Amino acid sequence: MKRWESYSWPLLAAAGCLTAWYFAVARTHTAIFPSPIDVEHGLVELVREGLLWRDIGDSLFRVGVGYGLGVLLGVPLGVLLGWYPTSAVTVNPVIQMLRPISPLAWIPLAIVWFGISSFSAIFLIFLGSFFPIVVSTMSGVRNVPEMFRRAGLNFGLSPAGLLRRVVFPAALPQIVVGLRISLGIAWLVVVAAEMIAVDSGLGYLIIDSRNAGKRYDLVVAGMLLIGIIGFCLDSGIRRLEKVKSVRWGFRYE
């Protein structure tokens, strides 16, 4: 696919969806579901009132802190569990038991512990991103080919040097996949958490617009913003795959 096609076709698809949306609303004469023009007017209203950027900033801040904590704690723990099989045998059952629990199931406890505040949302985001990162990192380290380990030992690398210069770079592709999945989960969790546990953010914007006057134009505007920002976040983290140290690992998969 040519470079211009990678931009033009998605734009044409988006234009087609907007056109179909406009004519579907006009055809049905619905008084509930907004048209694209109504959503645009709602966005302009939010910008004028200074609410839009505040809500976007609050949501991104919570995701940044919760997801950042998940990365800072999850990657080292995953490397440790992957490098030392005995520790994995000991800790992995606990991780596999906690991992399937939805972060949203922790909302009542989060409110009890942290109250109606950003700390509750950050805690939920941390839980949602931490376990996928740990599992993907542990799996990536354990699945490094034995040939790489032996080659590093033959060159006289110490265990720490082998982990730093061979095992970790070879595991990076799978770690990046885990980071990407966990970021998507974190963005989903923040929206759900903001509908219940906080009083700002895009999730709160949606539920508040629904409850206060049934402003479905603002509801749909919030939904579109969530999708657009989520797409941008995913596109940003996919760029990690082009980093030289990550591509080193992709060559041998």
77 located within any domain: yes
Please check whether residue 18 lies inside any domain of the structure. no
Q: Please check whether residue 48 lies inside any domain of the structure.
A: yes
Q: Does any domain span residue 30?
A: no
Distance from the Cα of residue 46 to its chain's centroid: 25
Flag whether 13 is in a domain.
no
Domain assignment of residue 53, yes or no: yes
Mean per-residue pLDDT, 41-64? 90
- Alpha-carbon distance of 96 to 92, in angstroms, equals 6
Report residue 229's pLDDT band, with 50, 70 and 90 as the boundaries: very high
Asked if pLDDT for residue 6 goes beyond 50, the answer is: yes
The predicted-structure confidence for 127-178, as pLDDT tens digits, reads as follows 999 999 999 999 988 888 878 777 777 777 787 878 888 888 888 888 998 9
Closest CA relative to residue 190, chosen from 154, 242, 230: 230
pLDDT in tens, 85-128: 888 888 888 888 988 888 889 988 998 898 888 899 999 999 99
| The model's pTM | 0.86
CATH code: domain of residue 43 = 1.10.3720.10
Structural domain total, the chain = 1
> pLDDT tier at 253 (50, 70, 90 boundaries)?
very low
Residue 32 exposed, middle or buried by CB count within 10 Å (0-12, 13-18, 19+): exposed
SS3 46: helix
CA distance 75 to 172: 10
Q: What is the domain range of residue 224?
A: 35-250
pLDDT reading at 49 higher than 80: yes
Residue 225 φ then ψ, to 5°: -65, -40
User: Coil, helix or strand for 160?
Assistant: helix
Q: What is the pLDDT of residue 246?
A: 61
The predicted model gives 186-195 an average pLDDT of 89
Res 143: pLDDT: 86
- pLDDT at position 185 is 92
pLDDT band at 247 (very low <50, low <70, confident <90, very high): low
- pLDDT score of 244: 64
Identify whether 25 is part of a domain: no
**Residue 2: inside a domain:** no
Q: Report d(CA 126, CA 35) in Å as an integer.
A: 36
